[in-house]
Structure 1
Amino acid sequence: MNLPSSRIPWLDNIRVFACILVIASHIVGQFFVSPPFTPDNETFAWSSFYTVLVRVSIPLFFMISGALLLPVRDTTGQFLKKTLHPRPVPLPAVVCVLHCFSVEL
């Protein structure tokens, strides 16, 4: 039994590309941690160049999420109630626990 798919293939491809860029950003970040960390080093220059190229990954994820939210059929109040309803309780609870234990973020 084949069910109709509601997936958007080109959006899935962009998501895969963004995942690869996130992995690449973590790999490039290792060059900044390992010595020698001097601006005149050739490794530093190349890792800086690649870092600039892979920084688009997080904005891509935000844009994909926004694109998937576009066909909203609810009113603004219904949408906000549905998306924000489960979140107000955990945040103050976490803040209170961190404050009680004096944990600095």
Structure 2
Amino acid sequence: MGLESVNYQCPACGGPLRYDGGKGKLVCDHCDSEFEVAQIEAMFANAEAKAEERAAGASAQTLDGGYVCASCGAQLMTDGTVAVSRCPYCGNQTMQAATFTGDFKPDLVI
């Protein structure tokens, strides 16, 4: 089971991509572009890896209490008690698993 959902943006226009089951592809309703799922996942995995490298290179103060959005790579700050949040830039819902520790760690997050 994945820890977060990802909303992919169209590489051509930046609009949201949706999965079309009939075509088996990710489709952009804004510019009518179509992409293979594996192609988009590889593209965004590469972007995520680059974002993590940039985040690792950033100072500890910059990321203290924050996280990097897996969808768009934005560095977002939280107060350290936030476990589930939504990126204000791309709308991706992200769960910070590191906040679930100790005696109060839940068995499941819905």
Q: TM-score w.r.t. structure 1 length?
A: 0.31
* Greater RCO (CA < 8 Å, at least 6 residues apart): 1
Determine which structure has the larger helix proportion and give its number.
1
Determine which structure has the larger strand proportion and give its number.
2
Q: TM-score w.r.t. structure 2 length?
A: 0.30
Q: Whose Rg is larger?
A: 1
